């Protein structure tokens, strides 16, 4: 995919998937700013980014707005695409779980995507060809035991995607979501050491799908919830 000249913001940009996405979009020609909750890393993986903005709680709309202002400044004044990766996972059953987990999953998975999108929208609208790509989860379509809170929050991301796509479809901004099954990350391998990792979705594959959704051929795609299942 040729993303030359695209000004791109990636939330959750310091995590394993975020770093892969930042590298892939930069390699395709995009100028990329990574935003994260933790302090900004200073390593070879992160150095392909035009800027790294750390210490940001994207569930706080004031912090999200400040981060997008700083990102736009680093990108020369505008934003063409927003990739909402920021989020978290918790496994616990409804019977023995804590109701606070439901609030946490909503805050880190849904609220961050809403706040980041709201903060970026003025510049995405000004772009004339704005793109938002949300990272949902296949669990939003069919939840397994222990995934109630997580799946419910990712279902919220799916409905955010659909509603915002309808809101923006005549305003030059597309909104889509990828719904991966299990992503092949070191954390997931540690949690499921006996699994067949080869069946999982590679982060590079997700990054490629994101790059496509930012490309010219994908301009007509909006409101799509795209399962990315690997062989799970």
Q: Are strands 81-84 and 31-35 parallel, antiparallel or unpaired?
A: unpaired
> Both tokens of residue 59?
């569930």
Among this protein's residues, is 150 annotated catalytic?
yes
- Phi first, then psi, for residue 207 (nearest 5°) are -60, -40
Q: Is-contact 12 38, C-beta < 8 A? A: no
Residues 6+ apart with CB under 8 A from 168: 125, 130, 174, 175, 222
d(CA 220, CA 169): 10
How buried is residue 13: exposed, middle or buried, by Cβ count under 10 Å (0-12/13-18/19+)?
A: buried
Residue 164, classed as helix, strand or coil, is helix
Q: Is-contact 175 161, C-beta < 8 A? A: yes
Q: Which of 14, 102, 150, 200 is catalytic?
A: 150
d(CA 145, CA 12): 26
Q: How far are the Cα atoms of 4, 64, 65, 229 from residue 25, in angstroms, in the given order?
A: 9, 22, 23, 21
* Residues forming the active site: 150
């Amino acid at each position: 995919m040729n993303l030359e000249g695209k000004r791109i913001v990636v939330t959750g940009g310091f995590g394993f998937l975020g770093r892969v996405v930042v590298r892939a979009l930069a390699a395709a020609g995009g100028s990329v700013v990574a935003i994260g909750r933790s302090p900004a890393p200073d390593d070879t993986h992160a150095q392909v980014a035009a800027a790294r903005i750390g210490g940001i709680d994207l569930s706080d709309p004031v912090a999200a707005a400040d981060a997008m202002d700083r990102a736009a400044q680093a990108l020369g004044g505008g934003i063409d695409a927003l990739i909402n990766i920021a989020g978290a996972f918790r496994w616990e059953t409804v019977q023995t779980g804590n109701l606070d987990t439901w609030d946490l999953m909503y805050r880190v998975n849904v609220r961050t995507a809403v706040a980041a999108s709201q903060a970026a929208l003025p510049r995405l609208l000004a772009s004339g060809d704005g793109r938002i790509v949300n990272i949902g989860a296949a669990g939003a379509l069919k939840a397994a035991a222990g995934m109630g809170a997580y799946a419910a929050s990712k279902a919220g991301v799916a409905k955010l995607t659909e509603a915002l796509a309808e809101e923006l479809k005549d305003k030059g901004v597309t909104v889509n979501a990828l719904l991966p099954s299990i992503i092949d990350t070191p954390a997931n391998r540690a949690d499921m050491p006996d699994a067949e990792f080869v069946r999982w979705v590679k982060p590079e594959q997700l990054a490629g799908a994101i790059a496509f959704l930012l490309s010219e051929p994908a301009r007509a795609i909006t409101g799509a919830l795209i399962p990315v299942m690997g062989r799970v």
